[in-house]
Amino acid sequence: MNLPFGPPIDLSNLSNFVQVDARPRRSVFVGRVSTKDNQNPSSSIPRQVALAAQRLEEGEEFAAYFWDVESGMLPTEARGLAPQEMYEALRVPTRRDGGLQDLLAHAEPMGITHVLAERADRVARAMLTSLTTEHQLQQAGAEVVYANEPQGGTESGRLRTRRYGQVEAEVYRTVMLEMSMGGQYQHALGGWNHGYPPYPYIAVVDENAPPPPRGRFGEARPKKKLAPHPDPRRYDASRELCRLRREEHLKSGDIISILSADPERYPIDGQWTHNLVEGLIANPKLTGYQVYNRKASRTGRPGFSQWNPISKWVWSPGPVHEAVVSLAEWKQAQEVTAGLRAGAEGGPLLRIQAAARQQGLTVTKVDNTSSHTRYRIGTRHVVLPTPIPDAVAQQIIEDLERAA
């Protein structure tokens, strides 16, 4: 902003009349396309470059191009992880010197002074992510410029426009998530399957489902329901492994030994594993119901998902495919599994629960990972390994007795 408060005489010949950045201007492009399927990166990225280039100075060119093809809902640490082969296959005419992570890593070493984008949501749809990115670039000496922002005027006006745009991007992100999840819920309520079919099933196209609409990139995937696997032995194997857990309280290692000893009766591609056995025992789809939202995949950690509490699962109103076990049998198996993980009857968790009851407290499971579980004991939260070692349980019990 030009201030109308100049000196009474011409002082422009003094060396410190203006503050000059000793670094040469070095501008780079940053962009993003949500998906390679529902958008066309080969046209979207060059369009973004053309718009951002309007903020270049006369005769200036971009020193580098940083762009990604992925959701703007991802945090910075989860961005730009797709293999280079995927980007090469897209045949985007704009060269790619890296993604957002690369930009943040190389902004200072490259001497970048300006980062130009079409608009704020091309950096990220989550406001916290875009603000964090702007701050990191500012710390590296780079100014972020969005082509859709007005030039001139006051700094407060420019900032207001930018923040409104970032809020709008995050609201749009939330609306899209709500609409997407709503559609997935209805998909499950209709009895249609998500993901790979469990071991005793195959996924078959539902001929009675409404025909999928045709979009700009062709027809959507047809809706599929689960049907028994052509090999009936898979049903028998699934029933048996569930029974071994439910009635005989066997751990996965013992179940694997029994199934592996009779491959003709219990066939498997490859070999029986702990994850397969435990996954089947825990899978509610074996009850004949369609169930969605068992896992949260957007955790901010690439390749990592976590279990949602059962209260957040979405169940079809009734059975929609042939059941392997009843709901009551499935629930009983989950209770046995919980007991085994706690150390079985008289195990560490039960001892902790008994000690807590003596103090008038309850022990409630809050959440868990594959290796640890967080419990609430009264108002106190503790994280314990799974299974709970006896020494750790004894320490918790002693702490409860001292607190009393």
pLDDT of residue 217: 47
- What pLDDT is stored for residue 90 in this prediction? 86
Sequence letter at residue 257: S
Per-residue exposure over 79-118, b if at least 16 CB sit within 10 Å of its own CB, e if not? bbeeeeeebeeeebebebbbbbbbbbebbeebebbbbbbb
Please report the pLDDT score of residue 304 as a whole number: 58
240-270 burial: b if 16+ Cβ within 10 Å, else e: bbbebbbeeebbbeebbeebeeeeeebebee
DSSP letters for 11-40? -TTSTTSS---SSPP-EEEEEEES-TTTS-
Cβ neighbours of 9 (radius 10 Å) = 6
Which residues are paired to 215 by β-bridges?
218
Class of the CATH domain delimited by 27-174 = alpha beta
pLDDT of residue 19: 64
Cross-strand bridge partners of residue 66: 30
Q: Where along the chain do its domains lie?
A: 27-174, 201-329, 343-403
- List b or e across 184-197, with b for residues whose CB sees 16 or more CB atoms inside 10 angstroms: eeebbebbbbbeeb
Residue type, 209: A
Instruction: Determine contact, residues 140/112, Cβ cutoff 8 Å.
Output: yes
Per the structure block, which two tokens stand in for 55? Answer: 């903020």
Please give the chain's pLDDT, 404 residues, in tens. Answer: 456 677 888 887 787 777 666 688 999 999 998 875 556 888 899 999 999 999 999 999 999 999 998 877 777 777 777 888 888 888 899 999 998 989 999 999 999 999 999 988 888 888 888 888 889 999 999 999 998 888 777 777 777 888 888 788 778 777 777 777 777 778 788 888 888 899 999 998 877 777 766 554 455 678 889 999 999 999 999 999 999 998 888 888 889 999 999 999 999 999 999 999 999 999 999 999 999 988 876 544 545 567 888 888 989 999 999 999 999 999 989 888 887 876 554 467 777 887 888 888 888 888 877 678 888 898 889 998 877 887 888 888 888 888 87
Residues 6+ positions from 29 with CB-CB distance below 8 Å = 48, 49, 52, 53, 62, 64, 65, 66, 67, 94, 116, 117
Contact 288, 320 (CB under 8 A): yes
Residue 261's contacts (CB-CB under 8 Å, 6 or more residues apart) are none
- pLDDT at position 345 is 45
> Considering only CA atoms, which of 26, 31, 70 is closest in space to residue 50?
31
Q: Pick from 226, 244, 231, 228: which is nearest to 281 by CA?
A: 244
